[in-house]
Amino acid sequence: MEEKTFQRIKELTELQGTSGFEEDVRAYMKQKMEPLVDEIQYDGLGGIFGLKKASQDDPRVMVAAHMDEVGFMLTQIKDNGLFQVVPLGGWNPYVVSSQRFTLKTSKGNYPCISSSVSPHLLRGGSGQKQLEVTDVLFDAGFESKEEAESFGVRPGDSIVPLAETIKTANGKNIISKSWDNRYGCTLVLEALEALQNEKLGHTLIAGANVQEEVGLRGSKPSVHKFEPDLFFAVDCSAADDIQTKKGTYGHLGEGTLLRIYDPGMITLPRVREYLLDIASTHNIPYQYFVSKGGTDAGAAHTTNNGVPSTVIGVCGRYIHTHQTMFNIKDFEAAREMLIQVLKGLDKTTVNTIIYGK
């Protein structure tokens, strides 16, 4: 991996923006996309997309990451200065405690940690009860509700994981927060850079949605606004390879994910065949993927009059936590897949994918 790409990954994954609070990531995407596209446009919820325009008769192809990462919203300041929260996105409650976060308020950003019960305090009892995410309090060191409020803390503020992005000792993997889905944001920028001087056979609409982690909310307005003929989500999925690779999906180091099914979307046969042809032609490593979770493609494909949609993905271990591990070669395979997919799409190919002729 080039150092430039690693630094881009590091910058994007260390940015902090949970669902509904994506402004820092949006500003970064705007700055980096502007030199690479003809025009920047937004949807009404805050999704940002760069357009590389072709002729009016050419098809419209949309590539969408999502900017948001899992986090929390502060819902109540307790009398002792601690906070109750609700999760934004899916969290395993057993990875929430004793972690570092940033509390983002109108007056500034403050360090914050999630509470836990020390083992000393569990002695002599029956142990800790079944844990729910909402049982975990958050602590910014304020001594009272009044002191917290004097620093501008209010219900509705966001609390976002804080973590450094690093490489593993062998240089083959990266550890970071928010690879779901700063992976997609990185991929969009890398593809736009690679295609900057290419004449494409379609209008390309590439960027990132908001609020994916709370129910695929951002893709509906963006697809409605831009009316693509084809939709490609670029998103990260959960790896399942730490116990066995037999009968599981999502293995680090085995290539980009070719998602054939998830609870919200079936990849259409002609879309699948196009991806397989691209992978075969360009020797791109890939692995079939069946997911228990969805992506923006799940919402996009039933928007407007129906939009054939799929996912160009990678897997990561321990996603939706402070520390995700992902493989550099998987990312490079996904990048090559997206670039070659976009190069190969023109009116004839798109019509074949949609109509079979």
* Sign of the dihedral through C-alpha 51, 227, 26, 317: negative
Residue 46's nearest CA partner among 70, 60, 25 is 25
Looking up tokens 């002599």 gives 124
* Sign of the dihedral through C-alpha 342, 347, 351, 357: negative
Q: Are 138 and 97 in contact (CB under 8 A)?
A: no
What's the order of all strands across the beta sheet hosting 166-167? 166-167, 173-176, 324-327
Specify which residues 105 forms β-bridges with: 108
39 is catalytic: no
* Residues near 194 by beta carbon (within 8 Å), at least 6 away in sequence: 335, 339
* Burial (CB count <10 Å: 0-12, 13-18, 19+), residue 2: exposed
Eight-state DSSP code of residue 119: G
Q: Which two tokens stand for residue 294?
A: 């969805």
Q: Which of 190, 212, 254, 336 is catalytic?
A: 212
Task: Note the helical H segments in the chain.
Answer: 3-14, 23-33, 145-150, 179-194, 219-226, 269-281, 296-300, 328-344, 347-355
Q: Which two tokens stand for residue 320?
A: 């939706």
Report the catalytic residues.
Answer: 212
